[in-house]
Amino acid sequence: MKDSLIVVSGGMDSITLLYEYADRIALAVSFDYGANHNHKEIPFARIHCERLKIKHIVIPLAFMKEYFRSSLLDGSDSVPEGHYADENMKSTVVPFRNGIMLSIACGIAESNGLKQVLIANHGGDHAIYPDCRSEFIQAMDKAMRSGTYENIGIFAPYTDISKTEIASRGKKLNLNYAETWSCYKGGEKHCGKCGTCVERKEALRDAGIEDQTEYED
C-alpha cells in the first residue's frame, strides 16, 4: 500500500531510500532552498522518480537563502574543504533545515491522505547536523503525530547507520550512484574536496562500488 511521502534531495542517501521503499511511496518532495547544489541535485531526484513512476514535486523555499546563514547558501567559495568530522564543516549547517522541511512534508502528507514521511538522515550526519540526530527525529515524530488528525509519523531507517551501509544497500539494488549528486559546491563536476565529496568517495570505496563520479581533481 502506497501510504508514504519521501523527502528526496537527489543525493545518494535519499535515492537509495527512494528505491528501497518504492512500493510504499506515493509522493516525493524536493525542496529548493537556494543551496549552491540544489540545481544539480533536484534533476536527479526527478529522473529517478520518473523511472519509478512516483509523482515528484518541488517546493520553493527562497526565503531561507535570504534570511538564513550557512556556507551552503553563500556560494561555492564559502564551502569548506576537508572531512565531515572537521570543525569547519559546521558552517554548512542550514539552521533547522530538516525541521522546516519535515513540517511542510507533514502537511502535504496529511493533505494527500498519506500516513508517514520518509527521510534519509544517517549516522554520519550526527557530528555536525543536530536535525539529523535520533533525538531530533524522535521529537519531530512526536510533534507531527500530536499535530495531525491522521497521526502522521516519520520513518527514518538510516538514522543510526553509516553512509557505507547505505551504499551497500544501494549496491544490492543495482543503483548507479553516478546518477546522484553530493557536492556542496554545485559546480559542473563534483569538487572531490568538500565534506560530502570526501564522504561519498569513502562510502563507495568501503562498499566495494566502482566510483564513476566525475570529479574536478
Report pLDDT for 1. Answer: 87
3-class secondary structure, 166:
helix
Hey, what's the cell of 198? 570526501
Please determine, for residue 44, whether its predicted confidence score (pLDDT) is greater than 80.
yes
Residues placed in the known binding site: 8-18, 183, 191, 194, 197
What is the DSSP secondary-structure string of 116-165? Answer: EEE----GGGTTT-GGGSHHHHHHHHHHHHHT-TT--EEE-TTTTS-HHH
| Structural domains in the chain, sorted by start | 4-206 (3.40.50.620)
Report pLDDT for 217. Answer: 73
Per residue in 191-215, pLDDT tens? 999 989 999 999 999 999 999 999 9
Distance of alpha carbon 21 from alpha carbon 5, whole angstroms: 10
Residues placed in the known binding site for ATP: 8-18
3-class secondary structure, 177:
helix
Residues placed in the known binding site for Zn(2+): 183, 191, 194, 197
Please tell me the pTM assigned to this model: 0.96
Per residue in 132-188, pLDDT tens? 999 999 999 999 999 999 999 999 999 999 999 999 999 999 999 999 999 999 999
Residue 87 binned pLDDT confidence (cut-offs 50, 70, 90): low
